[in-house]
Amino acid sequence: MRQQLLASKDQSEGYHALDADFTHLFGSWFNRGFLTLRPIDWTTPAYILEKIIKYEAVHEIAGWEELRRRLAPADRRCFAFFHPRLADEPLVFVEVALTRSVPRAIGDVLDEGREQINADEATTAVFYSISNCQDGLRGISFGNFLIKQVVDDLCRDLPGLKNFVTLSPVPGFARWLAKARAETPLALDDPNWPDDEKTAAEVERVLLPLAARYFLTERTPEGRPVDPVARFHLGNGARLERLNFLGDRSAKAMQQAHGLMVNYLYKLDDIVANHEALAQRGEVIASPAVKSLLNQNDESRRSGNGQQGSRPFAQIVNSTLGGGRK
């Protein structure tokens, strides 16, 4: 019923009241205490694996062979939350790669020819895809509980793990950048720009500082980070660790984020303090490397007379990313 409600174009007072009732009700029915965490692997019944393929929302699973590559190897894990009254319907699931280092690109995780390792060789657990499965439960958060539970389970089973990070998409970045710029043709408008080494280097020089601004200073009217994935991980207490240029060159990622991906770091001792910094002060906790990119962005905004911010932001974006194109 709520799935149909959310699909409605009705924005009346009655619509919002009914949705508030659903949200309150589902928040109780799907309380963390009722949910069970189950591992998903290659021996999981096929009718559930079919739903994992169907519900994957971040990196499409093309078929059974690709699903096998994500579930069967020793350095891969997948976990899902289930409700006792929906025993065969996953509510949310996370895919995990066990690695020796923090990956910069999704190809390092998903490429068919990647090097496989034994699980006990891994030092890093990479959460590279989190998918909510039920449209009718949109806005009912399970992912924060899921990550914390998975971290606990992985620490118990693999004590050699030291780092817990994500490799995350940035679904709002291209839309934000498009609003910030004027209607001037830019290098980014050429779909082949990543294949030109010189153009790609120039785009990287400018795009990463702009991305740092997007994460660290831009806010919604409610004072929250503008990117939905950032709101989720930063709200859970993660740190913005690294911006990865052309981390995902799929058509979807190029359209949504010009290929940008992000690592969020879950450092267990800092999760509470990071969460409180965002919730109470609106501060995004970020690594020194990301903060330094924001400083570069500030420098690029200085005009010839040294006045900070003397040019409109759209003009800065156009002049830096346009590269003299006509």
Catalytic site residues?
168, 233
Residue 116, Cβ neighbours under 10 Å: how many? 11
Q: What is the DSSP letter of 121?
A: G
Between CA 263 and CA 69 the distance in angstroms is 22
Q: What is the DSSP letter of 301?
A: T
Q: What is the DSSP letter of 285?
A: P
Exposure on the CB side of residue 244, measured as CA atoms within 13 A: 25
What DSSP element (H or E) covers 39?
A: strand 36-39
Bridge partners, 38 (sequence order): 80
What is the 3-state secondary structure of 8-20?
A: CCCCCHHHHHHHH
Strands 261-265 and 168-169: antiparallel
Residue 299, Cβ neighbours under 10 Å: how many? 10
Strands 76-82 and 163-166: unpaired
